[in-house]
Chains A and B, each alone.
Chain A
Amino acid sequence: MSRRAKLLWIALLVVFAGGLFYLRSLVRRTFFELPLHSEESAKARLSAAVLQSGAGPNEIALLYFPSLNDRKLVGESRPVKWAPSANDRVRQVLLALAEGPRQGLGHPLAASTNVRAVFLTLEGTAYVDLSNDLLSSINPGIESESLAVYSMVDSITANIPSVKRVKILIQGQEVETLEGHADLTEAIVPDPTLIKTGP
């Protein structure tokens, strides 16, 4: 075999090997890794749109963020233009919590959390379906999980009086806990005793 033919074979082999590795990564992406659903991104866009859609006058929303040092929830106020429907108001509260606190408090929801759906029953139970991104902001633990859960429940019920209790779903599914501690199997009523009152 001539020297030129040898070089040609080596070049072909390199191209073939490269192709094989590309194919391998393609197969893994297609079959073994979770795809980014277009439904998810559509819902994310919808969440952002809802937050800006309020047409009413400027009002004040009260949000409760966890303070681990105090073992309490600490209130922060935000100007808000409430959406007309209670469903969208629940969504506004959750997205505002996901934006995070302004006083160095804890994050109950990761900024990337997507509010997938909100549903209200006539009895005053709000079903909120969150993406599992929310878990990334919470260090597992009884205290941290409980405060994160009540941050959502107390904030929603404080701002939308028609909501009496909140049932949290993750990725459309009922879950027993967030990370092995706080009970999510039932709808949760607010706990006003967790709210820090003094300085």
Chain B
Amino acid sequence: MTVLLGLALFFWPSRILRSDNFVFYFPNSRHVIPLEVIENTKYLPLLQVLNLVGKLNGLQEKRNTLKVGFGNIQIELHVGDRKIRIAKEAISLSAPVRVSNGKWMVPTDFLTSAVPLLTSQVVEYQAGTNRIFLGDVKPGSFTLRLEPVSNGARLTFQFTDKVTVRTASVNGKWVMFLGDHPIEPLEQSFHFQNPYVTDVYFEDQDGLPKVVITPSAGGLNFYPLLAEGGKILLADVLKPPPPLPQTPPPSGPTPTTATAPAAPAPAPGVTEEGPATQLGPPLPVVALDAGHGGDDTGGHSREGVTEKDLVAQLVAHVRLALLSTGRYRIVLTRIADANATFEQRAEVANVAGAVYFLTFHAGDLGGSSPRIAIYTYQPPSPPLPSPDGEGKSGFIPWSQVQQAYLDQSRQLAQSLEQQFAQIAGVTTDMPGTAPVRTLRSVNTPAVAIEIGSLSPDNDVGPLTDPAFQQLFSAAVAKVLAAMQGGGA
């Protein structure tokens, strides 16, 4: 039996067990790159890491050997070998160098053993975590305690730095986005034997620090409240009050500062967020769609930067630019590295009643970089006349929903193009039309924005440049503000 089991294991092809993300925090930016776990060891794509840490001068790949020019240093690696050479000095890694899906992968201890030799910046990395801080970055932290209150439980988060909080409900869990400041928690997760809260964990796989709270049962209400200028966060998980007579939550926040109980998420992989304290009429919703995700990586650059990661970065910037205006709520059609279907993406925007839908892509646009192309939806073919008179009922087929908004979508595309054209160094083209699958069923003005050129023949540097991404995001915010009638 043992022999058979051994033989089965021997013949079974080795494969990646799971994929996560790794976040690089810099003083003014953050970058998310995919992390692979191969045979219980975390691996990072070497060229992406080097591109973030500094500048590549050249590459030479021969069979199982890779030589990389990095500044005035040469790095040499061999597939299957733990030893690498940096400026001819041998360094031993915890696991052998690998090639996965055409990418050279190094174990994460490369960050502690090699990166400090390659950069003069301060490197702060706690082994085992999926984040690194480079340069003058001072991450915050927090402690957490749980205590019972009447009709529920209270979570008290004590932060070292001020945070802002925006809430969302995803797959029956509550997510609290903690603003923009990097956080390195003392503990990643907390488990409770409690009738109201099962566990709380910290997550920043998409570069956005957040805590995720899992309730012990359905039907509970959630009341987050910031106190002491943003250094203490009280989150009450309470049984719903009886319908009559109506009473305020016994230990909840005061009515002027309470947020509404978070609603269930309309579809998997969705966040809905807006100002934590909201008075007056609801704010308009903007749906942001980062193309691809999960196994669908989209295109990739010469250095191995994938479309799904690049557009996720871009969406994070646009989201912040829009939220900072205080004029919108944002729904994201995907969070982290999930791959929502086309239908789910449209459904998220439609259910949220979004006023605009923007889908972001990166691809081969030829010519100079950065280049931005904007598309509105082009139906692949005109609808065939229905023999039985279908359509007279007033229902619009799901696949033709966007066709009612083509004029407004074109207007949005033109405004975006004019604004992007004002960014120095950026080439834009007149808005075009294309049968973009994601746009087909979106029930609001919608455009696809493609940045380029992301292709194996091009340097991705101009597109990952934080300055470009910020100018791009500011342009989007300015256009939406103008379209809403308020100017920038």
Contact = CB atoms under 8 A, between A and B. Distances in A.
Interface in A54-73: 67-69, 71
B395 interface: no
A69 B366 contact: yes
B367 interface: yes
B243 to A, nearest CB: 45
A159 interface: no
B160 to A, nearest CB: 41
Nearest to B367: A69
A43 interface: no
A83 B385 CA distance: 33
Contact of A143 (B296, B298, B434): B434
A27 interface: yes
Given A71-B373, A139-B364, A179 B298 contact: yes
A181 interface: yes
B11 A177 contact: no
A141 B450 contact: yes
A187 B450 contact: no
A188 B13 CA distance: 41
Contact of B381 (A69, A143, A187): A187
A187 to B, nearest CB: 6
B380 A189 contact: yes
A139 B299 contact: yes
B364 A189 contact: no
A180 B361 CA distance: 10
A149 B380 CA distance: 10
B320 interface: no
A186 interface: yes
Nearest to A144: B364
Contacts of B440: 183
A133 to B, nearest CB: 17
Size category, B interface: 35 or more
B7 to A, nearest CB: 9
Given A69-B367, A71-B432, A182-B434, A139 B380 contact: no
Interface stretch (B49-57, B72-80, B322-330, B452-460): B452-460
A180 B378 contact: no
Given A177-B437, A180-B291, A180-B296, A142 B361 contact: yes
Contacts of A165: 381
Interface in B405-433: 429, 432
A146 interface: yes
B364 A182 contact: no
A28 B11 contact: yes
Nearest to B296: A180
Nearest to A146: B434
Nearest to B432: A71
Contact of A140 (B299, B365, B366, B434): B299
Given A32-B13, A71-B429, A142-B373, A186 B367 contact: no
Contacts of B362: 141
A185 interface: yes
Contacts of B307: 140
A70 to B, nearest CB: 8
A39 interface: no
B381 A186 contact: yes
A24 B2 CA distance: 18
Contact of A68 (B291, B361, B365, B378): B365
Contact of B452 (A141, A145, A191): A141
B434 A141 contact: no
B365 A141 contact: yes
A185 B341 CA distance: 14
Interface string B55-97: 0000000000000000000000000000000000000000000
B380 A183 contact: yes
A176 interface: yes
Interface in B336-361: 342, 361
B229 interface: no
A110 to B, nearest CB: 14
Interface in B280-322: 291-292, 296, 298-299, 307
Interface in B359-379: 361-367, 373, 375, 378
Contacts of A141: 299, 361-365, 450, 452, 454-455
A142 B363 contact: yes
Given A143-B450, A176-B342, A180-B296, A28 B13 contact: yes
30 contacts: A24-B10, A28-B13, A67-B366, A68-B365, A68-B366, A69-B366, A71-B429, A139-B456, A140-B299, A141-B361, A141-B365, A141-B452, A142-B361, A142-B375, A142-B434, A142-B450, A143-B450, A143-B452, A146-B435, A176-B342, A177-B437, A180-B296, A180-B437, A181-B361, A181-B436, A182-B437, A186-B399, A188-B435, A189-B381, A191-B378
Instruction: Sort A-B residue pairs by CB-CB distance and give the 5 closest, nearest first.
Output: A141-B363, A68-B366, A139-B364, A140-B299, A183-B435
Interface of A: 24, 27-28, 32, 67-69, 71, 139-146, 149, 165, 176-177, 179-189, 191
Interface of B: 10-11, 13, 291-292, 296, 298-299, 307, 342, 361-367, 373, 375, 378, 380-382, 399, 429, 432, 434-437, 440, 448, 450, 452, 454-456
